[in-house]
Amino acid sequence: MSATELHTPIERVDIIGVPMDLGASRRGVDMGPSAVRYAQLREKLRKFGIEQVEDHGNLHVPDRESANEHAGDAKYFPVIESVCEKLAQKIEAIVRDGGFPVVLGGDHSIAMGTLKGLRDARGRPAGVVWIDAHSDINTPQTSRSGNVHGMPLWFALKHGYAEGKRTVQIGLRDVDRGEKQILRDAGVTAFSMSDIDKLGMTAVMQKTVEITGAGEKSVHVSFDMDGIDPSEAPGTGTPVKGGLSYREAHLAMEILAESGVLGSIEMVEINPILDQRNQTAILAVGLILSGLGKSIL
């Protein structure tokens, strides 16, 4: 079988863009959904053999100039929460209708909405594979910046949209001191880049599937593109050297696809202003395809 032949069990994919930048400090991440679409996501999904590809367009996100920053420790939180509620409703409807959601960010704060929608649709939290350089589990009190894209996993766990015992983080290499204890207390399994170097990505992903999976389409992957080394994914607002290689990132998605447990994908923190020839968005499209079952042979 050649690399161009089609083999996928996914019949329908629903694309939702969320041009959110209120959770981050660097401008431009709101253009992430457009960059991924420009990289021909819809066309490549159809070429792969997925007959039903429904692009629902972008959710409306108030611009920074019109949004109230909010005086608390989580900047713009009421506005972000409102957008996430709309995203949750969209995700719930798609999943109940048999679709496979592919969410395009936008900054990582949108994960709160995605995870809420999955929980509401299925009656229990999804298993979560969180690929990221950062753990994103700060509380409003431990965060030094007040940026909500560093807090979504904490909010998701707090509100029951995710469970620590079925959440795995992969690729960590920049974790705040306060977050380390929060991770331990929450029961989240974390694989740092050091762990991946020692164990290898195959072993890490096999353990990840074992922890997160609970049947067909029971797992969500929330993929922050800064999880990948900036030499491969330069278009992201908080790059950290020493990240996943191109092949490690694809292997992670391929193993999730082969396991049969993956039910939704979220790609976030793509910033075209910081990118080089749309390299990061093109890589994101390739990773989505790997997660849906595309393989070399």
Determine the pLDDT at residue 189: 99
**Is 239 a member of any domain?**
yes
**pLDDT number for residue 9:** 72
CATH number at residue 146: 3.40.800.10
Instruction: Count structural domains, the chain.
Output: 1
Please, which residues have CB within 8 angstroms of residue 158's CB and are 6 or more apart in sequence?
none
Overall average pLDDT of the 74-84 stretch: 96
Instruction: Identify whether 237 is preceded by a cis peptide bond (ω within 30 of 0).
Output: no
Q: Alpha-carbon distance 186 to 81, whole Å?
A: 22
Q: Supply the pLDDT for residue 6.
A: 41
For residue 4, is it within any domain?
no
In this structure, is residue 3 part of a structural domain?
no
Contacts of 197 (CB under 8 A, 6+ apart): none
Query: For this structure, is 179 an active site residue?
Result: no
In a domain, 244, yes or no: yes
Which structural domain, as residue segments, surrounds residue 239?
Answer: 12-291
In which band, very low, low, confident or very high, does the pLDDT at 161 lie, cut at 50, 70 and 90?
very high
pTM metric for this prediction: 0.95
Indicate if 226 belongs to the active site. Answer: yes
Whether 250 is a known active-site residue: answer no
Domain assignment of residue 60, yes or no? yes
Residue 224's H or E segment, with its range, is strand 219-224
Q: What percent of the chain has pLDDT over 70?
A: 97
Bridge partners of 266, per DSSP, are 103, 222
Is 54 within the bounds of a domain? yes
Q: Is residue 6 part of a domain?
A: no
The reply to whether 5 belongs to the active site is no
pLDDT tens-digit profile of 219-274?
Answer: 999 999 999 999 999 999 999 999 999 999 999 999 999 999 999 999 999 999 99
Set 92, 136, 229, 275: catalytic member: 136
- The whole-number average pLDDT for the span 57-69 is 89
Q: What is the pLDDT of residue 2?
A: 37
Residue 276 resides in a domain: yes
Query: Which of 107, 108, 163, 174 is labelled catalytic?
Result: 108
Question: Is residue 174 annotated as a catalytic residue, yes or no?
Answer: no
Closest listed residue to residue 219, CA positions, set 266, 156, 275, 158: 266
Whether 224 is catalytic: yes
Question: Which is catalytic among the residues 163, 179, 269, 275?
Answer: 269
Tokens 């999880």 correspond to 227
**C-alpha 274: how far from its chain's center?**
19
What pLDDT does residue 42 have?
98
**Is beta strand 100-105 parallel, antiparallel or unpaired with respect to 167-172?**
unpaired
Closest CA to 139 of 147, 131, 127: 147
Active-site pick, 224, 229, 248, 266? 224
- With b meaning 16 or more CB within 10 Å and e meaning fewer, what string describes 162-200? bbbebbbbbbbbbbbeebeebbeebebbbbbbebbeeee
* Residue 129 clears pLDDT 90, i.e. is over it: yes
Q: Are strands 127-131 and 167-172 parallel, antiparallel or unpaired?
A: parallel
Report residue 185: phi and psi, to 5°. Answer: -65, -35
pLDDT at site 7? 43
| pLDDT computed for residue 71 by the predictor | 59
